[in-house]
Amino acid sequence: MSADARHLPAGAQGRRGGDWPAVLSYGFRPFFLLGALYAGLIVLAWLPILSGTLETFSTFAPVDWHVHETMFGYVAAVITGFLLTAIPNWTGRLPVQGAPLLVLVLLWLAGRFAVFFSAEIGWVAAAVIDCAFLGAVAASAAKEIIAGRNWRNLMVVVPVTVFLLSNVLFHVEAGLFGGSDYARRLAIAAAVVLIVIIGGRIIPSFTRNWMVRENPGRLPIPFNGFDRIVLLVSVLALLGWTVLPEGLVSGVLLCAAGLLNLARLTRWAGDRAGRDRLVLILHVAYLFVPAGLLLAGLAALDLADVPAVAALHAFGVGAIGTMTLAVMTRATLGHTGRDLKADVATQLIYAAIVLAALVRIVAAFMPERIGLLHLSAGLWTLAFLGFCLRYGGMLLRPKLKPKRVSQPPGRPA
């Protein structure tokens, strides 16, 4: 039986996943590890590529390669790891593991090589190879949710499908027109919508669970009609930003979505969660969502001299980078049998990614910013390679066995 099989949901017990190593026993294991390693390495290489001292063999311009591989390399890997781990909990079915999981990993790796060497194989071939991964992920997720009749969670396939379509658009737009403005925004919008949807579910839930045990008092407000309004306005605002990033309508919608998401965050009682860093970082990560929306809104309205790139990095480095690390650390601890506690190394990882986001946002406002860009890139790399060092062993080794409680002398076991 695979390493995590005895810890599967009840409905999946008794089914065997084959004799595979622990890293292929659950989706989070290979994709969190490979995704974090890749995130650290591509940003480490980014500034030399931008300056021309390091060269890719890609048809993408340097900025397009950087954005594409951050979103469709790293973020796609983390989304996959999260979904393949969450879906068995939703459906009670066996997780994707063993050979099917290995196929997905190889598709992801093939996409990375295809994009890097697209000038050699052609952009159409690179697009087909690269997009095959997200297509397989969306199909696998939909198949498992439908087979488990878990209709309520089928909606998470929609942003994944949009993410896939934005990848297709990215290749077509860059291949035919030499740039990727629309696809770039669509990819970021799809990732932010996923954070609004999934974050709106896990943040108040994890916060409530901790407070009930450790800090009785005011609790997060459960999902209700207000959250549906926030989600609707956020989707409309991000769609408007994707198509028309400047103008009155987009600006007003973005600012409204930013204020609504900020109000939503205050309803989750994050101010009372400071003692649990695993919970607190989720609130900090979500704070970058309204920050990005408001910055995008001000840029669209041409107010306060806000550059559009500030919003891009509030979303990318802040909301996406911080939230993915927060989810990866928590999920890795929980699914490998560790205590849900953020040790010093984990807290340093959190500090590095939050500082990377803040520095990069500030750099957007600075005419002379090369030093800040290097600092932000260094902090990002430190956060993700730090995750690999601290959590890599957990992801590669089997789940810890529960500790046995010793019986007092004379009492039968």
pLDDT digits (tens, 9 = 90+) for 279-314: 999 999 999 999 999 999 999 999 889 999 999 999
Q: What is the pLDDT of residues 275-287, one digit of tens each?
A: 999 999 999 999 9
Give the per-residue pLDDT at 3.
Answer: 43
pLDDT-above-70 percentage for the chain: 93
Q: Residue 117 and residue 57: Cα distance in Å, rounded?
A: 5
pTM: 0.90
- Tell me the mean pLDDT in the region 12-38: 82
Q: What is the 3-state secondary structure (H, E, C) of 139-150?
A: HHHHHHHHHCCC
Q: How confident is the model at residue 1 (pLDDT cuts 50, 70, 90)?
A: very low
> CB neighbours of 21 closer than 8 A, spacing ≥ 6?
3, 396
Helix axes 370-396, 28-51, angle to 10 degrees: 160
Q: Residue 289 and residue 265: Cα distance in Å, rounded?
A: 10
Helices marked H in 215-343 — which ranges?
Answer: 225-243, 248-266, 277-300, 308-313, 322-335
What value does the mean pLDDT of the chain take? 90
Give the per-residue pLDDT at 16.
Answer: 47
